[in-house]
Amino acid sequence: MSAPLPAVRMLGTRGVPASHGGFETAAENIAQFLIERGWRVVVYCQVQGAGRVTEDTWNGIERVLIPIEREGPLGTVRFDLASIRHAIRHHDLCLTFGYNTAMFNIAQRLHKIPNVINMDGIEWSRERWGPMKRSFLWTNERVACAIGTHLIADHPCIRDHLARITSAERISMIAYGAHAVTSAPAAPVKQLGLEPGRYVTLICRAIAENSILELVQAFSAEPRGYRLAILGRYTPDSDAYHRAVMRAASDDVLFLGTVYDPVEVAALRFHGVAYLHGHTVGGTNPSLVEALAVGNAVIAHDNDYNRWVAQDGALYFRTSDDAAACLDEILGHPARREQLAAASRARHAEAFTWEGVAVQYEELLTRFLPRR
């Protein structure tokens, strides 16, 4: 009788195929790597609607499809709870992405099921949350540190933060990944009214902590002969910050709305001459890693998070004037731009390939496989 395959159940994402964000992309890539290495991987997926839980298989990944009628944060809470209730019936190793509902992970602890938790960023510290949400996230961070079998930090700053709460021996540092992009179709770019090689990109959630206003002001300060392509949902009628950003934009700024198709996003990145990254908080940001993977020259906010990720592949700013000077340097000097692009690709190859990331996940998960 053959031994059972090593098995892991992935919780905390909306599921696969990835179409929402970084955790979903991570789950998909890590799962496919593990399957190729002989693992059995089960991913919990949130689907819209009502009815019973169903199961199927996608690209070798076993999926547990949990219908949730409610949208938004409350729907996510219900999905997480339903996922954990299902998972604990099987006693497989769990890999949980995020700690936002860590209080529910007490169930794994009570059933003596190993649960490795990717702790994401220091979510409770973000200015956009009100006092109640901050308190909720802070509490769940502490709960996760107390009951998780082992913790994953995706950045040295996150590892150092967690080490002030729990033992450093319970924390492993594994970054986020991206696939290298060496070619991309130009058609998606042209369909959006852009000319390949004549624009820069800015891709992020439209909130103040991502320095969008400063970057738009810097770009719009003078004619540049390039366009600025901004991805994200902007609602100027109901959001004062969005309104300020759009008022500051010159005619060369193009608001493209939300674009989720990974091929289209990769093409936009690849054919842009630079990427603007204004994130001021967080760990290893997926959007920044993807910019390195396509060989973008990067202009990034000057903080420890971004400097560790991009290193020599970026110029750094703190003010709008700083960002304008960075744009002058990159757009006005092709040789400097190529130097930064080469450094971006080298940094990605060194630290952020999915193959390298997934190997680290496998080595870690193997340590905590339950004994049969």
pLDDT tens readout for residues 169-207: 999 999 999 999 999 999 999 999 999 999 999 999 999
pLDDT at 261: 87
pLDDT tens readout for residues 132-142: 999 999 999 99
Q: Of 114, 261, 277, whose CA–CA distance to 200 is shortest?
A: 277
pLDDT tens readout for residues 329-354: 999 999 999 999 999 999 999 999 99
CA–CA separation, 328 and 219 (whole Å):
9
pLDDT tens readout for residues 18-43: 876 789 999 999 999 999 999 999 99
State which amino acid sits at residue 213.
Answer: L
Token reading at 223:
């004619």
Q: 10 near 41, Cβ under 8 Å?
A: yes
- Which residues are CB-neighbours of 358 under 8 A, at least 6 positions away? 29, 30, 33, 34, 177
Q: Of 176, 352, 188, whose CA–CA distance to 270 is shortest?
A: 188
The architecture that CATH gives domain 187-351 is 3-Layer(aba) Sandwich (3.40)
- pLDDT band of residue 3 (cuts 50, 70, 90) is confident
Give the 3-state secondary structure of 224-289: CCCEEEEECCCCCCCCHHHHHHHHHCCCCEEEEECCCCHHHHHHHHHCCCEEEECCCCCCCCHHHH
The model's pTM is 0.94
pLDDT at 371: 76
pLDDT at 129: 84
pLDDT at 2: 64
- Which residues are CB-neighbours of 144 under 8 A, at least 6 positions away? 99, 102, 105, 117, 119, 151
Q: Do domains 7-177+354-367 and 187-351 have the same CATH topology?
A: yes
CA–CA separation, 127 and 136 (whole Å):
14
CB atoms within 10 A of CB 223: 9
Find the helix packing angle between 334-351 and 320-332, rounded to 10°. Answer: 100
What are the sequence ranges of the domains in the chain?
7-177+354-367, 187-351
CB atoms within 10 A of CB 127: 10
State which amino acid sits at residue 341.
Answer: A
Average pLDDT, whole number, for the chain? Answer: 95
Task: For domain 7-177+354-367, give the CATH number.
Answer: 3.40.50.2000
Alpha helices in the chain (DSSP H): 22-36, 72-87, 106-110, 131-147, 156-163, 187-191, 212-220, 240-248, 262-270, 286-293, 304-310, 320-332, 334-351, 354-367
pLDDT tens readout for residues 150-159: 999 999 999 9
pLDDT at 20: 64
- Is residue 225 scored above 70 in pLDDT? yes
User: Residue written as tokens 């794994």?
Assistant: 108
pLDDT at 17: 92
Q: 292 near 183, Cβ under 8 Å?
A: no
N- to C-terminal Cα distance for the chain? Answer: 14
- Is residue 264 scored above 90 in pLDDT? yes
Q: 217 near 191, Cβ under 8 Å?
A: no
Q: 317 near 326, Cβ under 8 Å?
A: yes
pLDDT at 72: 86
- Is residue 1 scored above 60 in pLDDT? no
Poorest-pLDDT segment among 132-136, 253-257, 324-328, 339-343: 132-136
- pLDDT band of residue 372 (cuts 50, 70, 90) is low
- Is residue 101 scored above 60 in pLDDT? yes
Find the helix or strand (DSSP H, E) in which 55 lies: strand 54-58
Q: 66: helix, coil or strand?
A: strand
pLDDT at 138: 95
- Which residues are CB-neighbours of 5 under 8 A, at least 6 positions away? 38, 39, 40
β-pairing, 93-97 vs 115-118, is parallel
